[in-house]
Structure 1
Amino acid sequence: MGDQTPCEKLCLGLKKVKPYLAMVSLQFGYAGMYIISMVSFKHGMSHYILATYRHVVATIVIAPFAFVLERKIRPKLTLPIFLRIMVLGFLEPVLDQNLYYLGMKYTSATFASATVNALPAITFLMALIFRLETVNFKKLHSAAKAIGTAVTVTGAMVMTLYKGPIIDFVRSHGAAHHGTSNESGNQHWLTGTLMLLGSCCGWSGFFILQSFTLKKYPAELSLTALICMMGMVEGAAVSLVMERDMSAWKIGFDSRLVAAVYSGVVCSGIAYYVQGMVIRTRGPVFVTSFSPLCMIITAALGLIVLAEQVHLGSIMGAILIVFGLYTVVWGKSKDMINASTLELTDEKTGTQELPIKDTTKLSSINFGNSIEGPDDGMSKIPPKS
């Protein structure tokens, strides 16, 4: 093989960087959603109806692209795949988002985005259970994944159980009205935190099931459209049960409409598609490893736009979560290097062992003997499965 041209090197470099750029861009999108959603809640929008409208918009936007661009490669939709899509439509669009929105209303946008940092640890544990990840404690980088997961969970527990004093980064006078119902506020804070952790479990389950579904249904756009459609149907059913007042469905040209359109296009349509593409090449743990960036962006926006208060427990927990998370990411990066090295080694040895041309009958028989044992004088035909 000759040396690569500068154009080939550039294309190869862009191919390697593309998953990182995609996931970083999504974190900016999620950060904007947290702030816009919080504003719409303050204007009286129901989180059940927001989750439903979000997937109405996502279905309308994604379905035409899926129908046109994947009409030749779209696999047949079988009953097992449809049942998986139904579960996917419930796990993230209904369970995760409603628990998340409720938790964010009880706490704050900054705290909610920080709690999502437990997502990589939960996803890693689920990946271990379903054998998508392995841990070998004899190797440092492999043990680092387990240690980082434990540190991340510890950070999430600190954020849950310890609130601490308010850290006033931007001088505000909002602390005075928090002392009136401190006990009730702490109870809501704990309830909200448990809901946020529950939403992380639902989101992690979504990533794991999505990775399995993509192996059977490798059409990211079509799968995204179907998930959004099922999320719309199931979310509407839940909303009709939980919101009996039909006037709650009315929205005008205000923050509620902006929240539905923005979260539908960016955080459901585009996000499901991009995550699906990256999951196929890097796995679900890689996809969830960028959430600390979202926390930083949201904290800055929440502090400036919403004048939210940051507590010491949130800062301490966030530091532990970020430290543990990047320990996991370091271990994952070493795993990828080792896997690519092993793959290159196998390719080199394979080209030497396999016959390039089937020139003689003897070469085939000798190759079969090298695998299956000494020749017994009869040609060995593999049994039909």
Structure 2
Amino acid sequence: MDIGAETEKEKAAAGWEWRTPASMVLVQLFITGMILLSKVSIGGGIFIFALLAYRSLFGAVFILPFALISERGKWKEMGWHAMGWIFFNAFIGYAVPMSLYCYGLRETTPSYAVIFVNLIPLATFILSLVFRMETLRIWSAIGSLKIAGVLFSVGGTMLISLYKGKVLHLWDPILKNHPKEQTAEGAGNQLRGTIFLVGSSFAFACWYLIQSKVHKVYPYKYWSSMATCLVGGFQTALVGIILNTEKNAWKLGWNIDLVTILYSGALATAGKYCLNSWAVAKRGPTYPPMFNPLSVVFTILLDSIFIGDEITVGSLLGTTMVLVGLYTFLWAKSKEVPEK
């Protein structure tokens, strides 16, 4: 009986070991699809704040069933104090960073913009040091690896920005929706886009720093996420209405824009959140970020295959540096977390 029970436990453990990394790979594919679809929609002329507002509101709709099932009745405990923090959470964690990211994505390419998503853990670490929320033992092996990881990642991003190198024509794109001519104006757009993307990364980093406070005030993750999406949708809608009151800017049709909004709300918001939460419960909070660099690889490949943005020697070298730096940093960071 004991041997049989032990065998069943081993089989169950093997099942979890397979499902957890598979779910994290799926999350990175969700993120990649969202970035590529957003680029196509933005390139097609969709009003960015309409995209953000609809996406966030649809995300709230998709998360609502999980909140109703898993945290039934907990919405009643959401007082004014918690609502104030959720409003701030939505502003710092969605309205500001996603607006900056979409404008940065409009000026650059998906394979370039996704690099900055993966720099968020590093930006969070830097801000944690600035606000003395984290200490850095420079002369320890772990501290040295963390510094090396930051330097490698930042250096890789600079290499991608400043050096192109030989263009690798590997295949013809499936979708041919924008010209490839590089002009002086295009170079200026990339600089402006980089500024937007850097601002987005630091806004996201600030958002991660206030998460602990939000969870203390209102510890119910599904209702908190649903309310954040709902408030974020209204915030971006309000800004959008101020900037553009034309009805056509807010119309939705049976086109790629609707696909982008539904996909972003269902998979890149609700699906990503649920899978990340499940993985954190199984493997701990440092586990999901370990898979973030995969979105860089997926985005570069699919961006080139579908949209046709060029793969260059500089982008490959820079991306490799970012991946090595990020994995080094996250590995060193995970070693600081005591095992339970």
Per-residue deviation, residues 288-330 of structure 1 (Å, max 9, x unmatched): 4432100111111111111111344332321211111111122
Q: Is the 8 A contact 2:59 2:265 kept in 1?
A: yes
Measure, in 2, the Cα distance between the counterparts of 1:131 and 1:8: 43
* 156-165 or 184-193, larger mean C-alpha shift: 156-165
Measure, in 2, the Cα distance between the counterparts of 1:126 and 1:82: 25
Q: Give percent identity, aligned residues only.
A: 26
1:351: which partner in 2? none
| 2:137 alignment partner AA | N
Measure, in 1, the Cα distance between the counterparts of 2:214 and 2:13: 28
Q: Is the 8 A contact 2:100 2:196 kept in 1?
A: yes
| 2:230 alignment partner AA | M
Q: Is the 8 A contact 1:210 1:276 kept in 2?
A: no
Q: Is the 8 A contact 1:135 1:143 kept in 2?
A: no
1:146: which partner in 2? 147
Measure, in 1, the Cα distance between the counterparts of 2:312 and 2:189: 15
1:272: which partner in 2? 273
1:30: which partner in 2? 31
* 290-299 or 110-119, larger mean C-alpha shift: 110-119
Tell me: CA distance 1:317–1:75, structure 2 relative to 1, closer, same or farther (3 Å): farther
* 224-233 or 141-150, larger mean C-alpha shift: 141-150
Counterparts in 2 of 1:178-189, with a 5 A limit? Answer: 178=180, 182-189=183-190
Counterparts in 2 of 1:134-173, with a 5 A limit? Answer: 134-170=135-171
Please report how far the alpha carbon of residue 130 of structure 1 lies from its aligned counterpart in structure 2 after TM superposition.
5.5
Q: SS state of the match for residue 119, structure 2?
A: helix
Q: SS state of the match for residue 208, structure 2?
A: helix
Measure, in 2, the Cα distance between the counterparts of 1:22 and 1:224: 20
Counterparts in 2 of 1:26-65, with a 5 A limit? Answer: 26-65=27-66
1:208: which partner in 2? 209
Measure, in 1, the Cα distance between the counterparts of 2:118 and 2:315: 12
* 250-259 or 57-66, larger mean C-alpha shift: 57-66
| 2:84 alignment partner AA | L
Are 1:282 and 2:287 counterparts?
Answer: no
TM-score of the pair, normalised by structure 2: 0.86
Tell me: CA distance 1:66–1:136, structure 2 relative to 1, closer, same or farther (3 Å): same
Please report how far the alpha carbon of residue 27 of structure 1 lies from its aligned counterpart in structure 2 after TM superposition.
0.6
Counterparts in 2 of 1:1-385, with a 5 A limit? Answer: 5-12=6-13, 20-72=21-73, 76-129=77-130, 133-170=134-171, 178=180, 182-276=183-277, 282-283=284-285, 286-336=287-337, 339-340=338-339
1:353: which partner in 2? none
Q: Is the 8 A contact 1:94 1:231 kept in 2?
A: yes
Q: Is the 8 A contact 2:172 2:308 kept in 1?
A: no
Per-residue deviation, residues 194-229 of structure 1 (Å, max 9, x unmatched): 111111112222233224422442222111111111
Measure, in 2, the Cα distance between the counterparts of 1:214 and 1:278: 18
Q: SS state of the match for residue 233, structure 1?
A: helix
Q: Is the 8 A contact 1:141 1:330 kept in 2?
A: no
Measure, in 1, the Cα distance between the counterparts of 2:82 and 2:20: 26
Alignment RMSD (CA, Å): 2.8
* 42-51 or 76-85, larger mean C-alpha shift: 76-85
TM-score of the pair, normalised by structure 1: 0.77
Measure, in 2, the Cα distance between the counterparts of 1:44 and 1:305: 19
Tell me: CA distance 1:130–1:289, structure 2 relative to 1, closer, same or farther (3 Å): farther
* 224-233 or 198-207, larger mean C-alpha shift: 198-207
User: Which has the greater radius of gyration?
Assistant: 1
Please report how far the alpha carbon of residue 151 of structure 1 lies from its aligned counterpart in structure 2 after TM superposition.
1.7
| 1:282 alignment partner AA | G
